[in-house]
Amino acid sequence: MRLSWDWLTPRRRPATARSVLAGEASAEAARKTSQAPEEALEAGATEVTPAEEKPAEPEFPVAGDERAAAFFDLDNTVMQGASLFHFGRGLYKRKFFERRELTRFAWQQAYFRIAGTEDAGHIQDVRESALSIVKGHRVAELMSIGEEIYDEYLAGRIWSGTRALAQAHLDAGQRVWLVTAAPVETATIIARRLGLTGALGTVAESVGGVYTGRLVGEPLHGPAKAEAVRALAAAEELDLDRCAAYSDSHNDIPMLSLVGHPYAINPDTKLRKHAREHDWRLRDYRTGRKAVKIGIPAAAGVGALAGGTAAAVAIHRRRA
C-alpha cells in the first residue's frame, strides 16, 4: 500500500514514530473512504433511534458548525464487546483458521475484560493473531465477508444510546468518525452501515490488493489514536476545541484530551475517575450487573464452543 501524507502540517509530536505513522496512515485511509456529510446524513436517517430510547440531548453539538466533528471509539463505546473478536468468529465459521486460533482470540478478549488493561504483550498477541489470519488474502475478499459478519454478529450489539449521540452530530450537520484499533476495513464497514462519515482504524499493508501480513506503523491504540485524530483534523481543517470524542477506556485519554468536548461512555474505573476529576461528561448505558459482566460471556462462551480453555469457562461461570 503506497500512502502519501504531503497534506500534513509538520509539528513536534510526543508520540513514538510508529504511533505517528499509524495515525497518519489511518487518517489517510479515512479520508479516502469517508462519505460526504450529505451522504452520511441520508444514510443515517434510516436508523435513527426511537425517541423514547434517546438520552437527553446535551448542549453540544452546535448545529451548522462545519469545523466541528465527533470521534467515537468502537469497542464497548459504540458496540458491546470487541469487534475484532466477532470478526474472528465470522472468519472461523468460514474456515479461515483452526479452532485453536479462535480459542486464542477468546482468551485474549476474556483477559482484557478481567484485567481492564491492554499491556504491550497483549496488544502484540492480538496483532500477530490478526495479521497471520489475513496474510495472503485479498482486501476485496475480506471487505465482502465483513459485510456478512456485520449482519451476523455486530448489528445487534450496537448501543442505542451511543448511536443516538452520533446521530445528534449528524443531524447538526457535523461529520462523525469511528476511531478504533480494529482493522480500518472492518471499521469502515461498521461506519458505513451506521451512516457515519468514515473510520480511522489500524492499517494493514497490502500490495496489489493482497495483505502482506505487516502493519503500517502499529495498531491504532492509545497515543496512535490521538495522532490519527490530530492528522485528520489538520487535513479537514477542523477546530479540535469545537470537536467531541467518546470512549469507554482510559487508554483513550490522549484522544479525549485533544478535543473541547470529551465524553466518557460506559467508562472503565480509571476513565471514570479521570472524567470526574476533569469535569468530563459521562454516559453509561449499562445497568446493574450487566455493567460488570459486559464482554465476558461472548468471549468465554464462544471459546468453550470452540474447544476453549478451562480458564475462560471458569471466568464465565463466576460472572454469570
- DSSP string of 5-26? -TTSPP---SS-HHHHHHHHHH
Secondary-structure breakdown of the chain: helix, strand, coil percentages, each rounded to the nearest 5? 55, 15, 30
Q: What is the grid cell recorded at 54?
A: 434517546
262, β-bridge pairs: 245
Angle between helix 83-93 and 296-305 (nearest 10): 20
Which residues make Cβ contacts (< 8 Å) with residue 121, sequence separation at least 6? none
- Bridging pattern class, strands 204-207 and 210-215: antiparallel
Q: Are strands 175-183 and 198-202 parallel, antiparallel or unpaired?
A: parallel
Q: Which three cell numbers stand for residue 196?
A: 457515519
- Give catalytic residue positions: 73, 75
Q: How far is CA 35 from the centre of its chain?
A: 18
Task: Write out the DSSP string of 107-158.
Answer: HHHHHHHHH----HHHHHHHHHHHHHHHTTSBHHHHHHHHHHHIIIIIGGGB
Distance, in Å, from the CA atom of 308 to the CA atom of 304, rounded to the nearest integer, reads 4
